[in-house]
Chain A
Amino acid sequence: MLAMNYRGPYRVRADYKPDPEIEHPGDAIVRVLRSCICGSDLHLYHGMVPDTRVGHTFGHEFVGEVVDVGRDVQTLKAGDRVLVPFNLFCGSCFFCQRELFGNCHNTNPEATAVGAIYGYSHTAGGYDGGQAEYVRVPMADVGPLPIPDDLHLDDAVLLTDAVPTGYQAAEMGDIQEGDTVVIFGAGPVGIFAAKSAWLMGAGRVIVVDEVEYRLEFVKRYAQCEVVNFREVNDMAEHIKKMTDWMGADVTIDCVGGDAAGSIAQTLTGRLMKMQAGASTVLHWAINCVRKGGNVSIVGVYGPTFNMVPMGNVLNKGLTIRANQASVKRHLPRLIEHIREGRLNPKEIITHRVPLEEVADAYHIFSSKLDNCIKTVLIPPSAREVQAVNATALH
């Protein structure tokens, strides 16, 4: 099959590799119909995630059609269309039984600090991802959700990560009516965090980034205020000034370790790897929030450590919440939002690229060329299916 193939930092290509096989009685094999490149794939692409092995296939946002199932699978059969949450989880362990599906203890032997994630290095379990024609989907009765007939495939693929991660980011901010919410990062997750903040009754939503076209997009799409951090002298002072010198009630980090905005952080976090990514946004989130406020973190950092102003967390009495999104628990409510027209995820897709051109797709997304917000990869076999059955595919 054709699959994205990681060759080293900033180097990927489309290559042929053996088809995946059923390895556990709970497995399914899924033919991929759409897969996205996620902002957190860029941490892998930039060589920042330890134990990212050459030959790995990335991709944790995908939808597809079941082509084979293991002998224990009861709820899915060949031909079913499924959206597959990016977390790979068992459904039975201590953590899954508490709906912490992103923290499963039974699917990643290689680390306890992170759950298993499709196509996200061996630190996240060593599973190939969905930027391919086929993918192995373990615990097929637990993770995947059959796609309702009225749900567009483009909306479905964004429900695998970007939408629920943005939603949970806002939810972890514990937003109260009228709150001022500052979101760092105008990528897909930041965009959906902004939309979700309104759903939860925010009074003001302010999105911070440096990429002007993304700020323009989120301003229109999420009806929010925007700040280009390149145009302000000091982020904390600027946000305080915007909030009657109080600070935001809630700040949300939707960037992670790839953040720009501080030479010292870029040098120590991204170039010299002296910390687990640049902690610029953590710094801003802590210093821009008001005393007693909430900081929510969904931006991805490495497993070692970051330099953060912890004293300010204590002295300001802040609450910090963070996690990988527990995707499955959000899906019923998010599908309701899509049906009611409150969310329209597919509108953020700017690029549809054949899987064969995966190297260019990564470069465009990473370097933010061609006004790229979200890229969807279409495998060749999915294009054949589309040609035969275009209407059924939406």
Chain B
Amino acid sequence: MEHHHHHDGDAGHVHAHPLQGDMADGPRRPSREELAHINGWGADLDRKNRPAILMERTPARFIHPHEGKLPQQPENVEILVSTERPGITPIFGTVQPPKGLSGMIRRLAFKWSENDMRRWLLLLAADRVNVVEGVGEDLVHGKVPNVLAEMGIKAEWEHNRAGLVKKAVLTGAVLGAAVYLMRRRPR
């Protein structure tokens, strides 16, 4: 698609714009014959075959909804509830209820709506505190967590040995430098 033109008043000088084009017809579309080798091509070209068209569809298909009001799940553990949906839902998860310092932070976070950054930042902070609590819990139960195994060091050794060695050398160098600097300071 090469295109040359002259500007008036700039006689004799030619600007070349090899990529300029009017694009009136848009890009070329491959023909059905050209696409025939693609497995399944066009099977859902007809919108009737696309299950999520329209985005919303009533009544819902493929499910067996409960008749009448959903029974309420009993609340046997502490559940934190969004301020944007007051009250407990009929069904909810009960695993890992809030506890300890991280639980206190989570309870505080849930005082704000989901629209408020403080809620999410506090929850992320609680998550980090919870990690330290998790190590503490392990130790209380007489278990020293094998952090390297939990991070998949066996797989790293099997599939990325050079990378592991590099990381170990770098970590050693940084730790060595830190120890050296800390020892120097008292002088």
Which A residues are closer than 8 A to B by beta carbons? Answer: 7-13, 23-26, 47, 50-57, 72, 74-75, 88, 90-92, 96-101, 105-113, 116, 122-123, 125-128, 138-139, 141-142, 145, 168, 171-172, 177-178, 180, 195-196, 198-201, 203-204, 223, 243-246, 273, 302-304, 321, 323, 326, 328-333, 337, 340-343, 357, 359-364, 367, 369-370
B40/A90 in contact, CB under 8 A = no
Taking the closest CB of chain B, its distance from the CB of A254, in whole angstroms, is: 16
User: Which of B21, B50, B63 has a CB less than 8 Å from the CB of A142?
Assistant: B63
Besides A11-B151, A367-B152, 10 more A-B contacts (Cβ < 8 Å) are A99-B57, A109-B85, A177-B29, A321-B55, A323-B55, A326-B52, A330-B52, A333-B44, A340-B40, A361-B155
Q: Does B90 contact A (CB under 8 A)?
A: yes
Residue of A11, A23, A54, A90 touching B94 (CB-CB under 8 A): A23
Query: Which 8 pairs between the two chains have the least Cβ-Cβ distance?
Result: A363-B152, A342-B40, A126-B93, A178-B29, A8-B131, A127-B93, A54-B134, A360-B155
Q: Which of B39, B120, B134, B156 contacts A7 (CB 8 A)?
A: B134
Most chain A Cβ neighbours within 10 Å, of B57, B81, B110, B146: B57
Report the count of interface residues on B (CB-CB < 8 A).
87
**CB within 8 A of A112: which of B85, B88, B102?**
B85
On whether the beta carbons of A50 and B120 are closer than 8 Å, the reply is yes
Q: Tell whether B9 is near chain A: CB-to-CB under 8 Å.
A: no
Name B residues whose Cβ lies closer than 8 Å to a Cβ of A: 19, 21, 23, 26-30, 35, 37-45, 49-53, 55-66, 70-71, 73-74, 76, 79-82, 84-85, 87-96, 102, 106, 110, 114, 117, 120, 123-124, 126-128, 130-131, 133-135, 137, 145-147, 149-156, 158-160
In the complex, which of the residues A8, A50, A54, A111 contacts B82, with contact meaning CB atoms closer than 8 Å? A111
Contact in complex: A342, B43 (CB < 8 Å): yes
Which residues of chain B have C-beta atoms less than 8 A from A109's C-beta? Answer: 79-82, 85, 87-89, 92
Distance of A203 from chain B, by nearest CB (Å): 5
A–B pairs, 23, beta carbons within 8 Å: A11-B131, A11-B151, A50-B123, A92-B66, A106-B89, A107-B89, A109-B82, A112-B85, A122-B80, A125-B92, A141-B63, A145-B62, A171-B50, A171-B53, A180-B27, A198-B35, A199-B43, A243-B27, A246-B23, A273-B124, A329-B52, A333-B49, A363-B153
The reply to whether B114 and A142 contact each other, CB–CB distance below 8 Å, is: no
A10 contacts B61, C-beta separation under 8 Å: no
- Known A-B contacts A51-B127, A91-B66, A98-B58; A12 and B150 likewise in contact (beta carbons under 8 Å): yes
Inter-subunit contact A90/B70 (CB<8 Å): yes
Contact A116 B93 (CB under 8 A): yes
Chain A residues lying within 8 Å of B29, measured Cβ to Cβ, are 177-178, 203
Partner of A91, one of B28, B64, B102, B158: B64
Q: Contact at A113–B114, with CB atoms within 8 Å?
A: yes
CB distance from A294 to the nearest CB of B (A): 13
Contact of B93 with A125 in the complex, beta carbons under 8 Å: yes
Does the CB pair A128–B131 fall under 8 Å? no
Question: Among the interface residues B88, B91, B106, B120, which one has the most CB atoms of the partner chain A within 10 A?
Answer: B91
Query: Given contacts A51-B106, A99-B57, are A108 and B89 in contact (CB under 8 A)?
Result: yes
Q: A9-B131, A122-B80, A359-B152 are in contact. Are A337 and B43 (CB under 8 A)?
A: yes
Residue A223 contacts which of B19, B38, B158 (CB distance < 8 angstroms)? B38
A55 near B134 with CB under 8 A, answer: yes
Q: Are B28 and A244 in contact (CB under 8 A)?
A: yes
Minimum Cβ distance to chain B for residue A249 (Å): 9
When the two chains form the complex, which single residue of B52, B65, B102, B117 contacts A168, counting CB atoms closer than 8 Å? B52
- Chain B residues within 8 Å of A201, by CB: 41-42, 44-45
- Whether B52 lies near A53 (C-beta < 8 A) is no
Contact residue among A96, A304, A364 (Cβ-Cβ distance under 8 Å from B159): A364
Q: Return chain A residues, CB-CB under 8 Å to B65.
A: 90-92, 96-97, 142
Task: Give Cα distance in the complex from A168 to B36, angstroms.
Answer: 23
* Given A23-B94, A110-B82, A364-B152: A342 in contact with B39 (beta carbons within 8 A): yes
A243 to B29 CA separation, bound complex (whole angstroms) = 10
Which residues in B have their C-beta under 8 angstroms from that of A47?
A: 127-128
- List chain A residues, Cβ under 8 A from B63: 91, 96, 101, 141-142, 328
Q: Which of A110, A171, A359, A364 contacts B81 (CB 8 A)?
A: A110
Contacts of A101 in B (CB 8 A): 60, 63
Q: A112-B85, A195-B40 are in contact. Are A11 and B64 (CB under 8 A)?
A: no
> What chain A residues lie within 8 Å of B149 (beta carbons)?
13, 359
Contact A330 B51 (CB under 8 A): yes
Docked pose: A311 CA to B81 CA in angstroms: 36
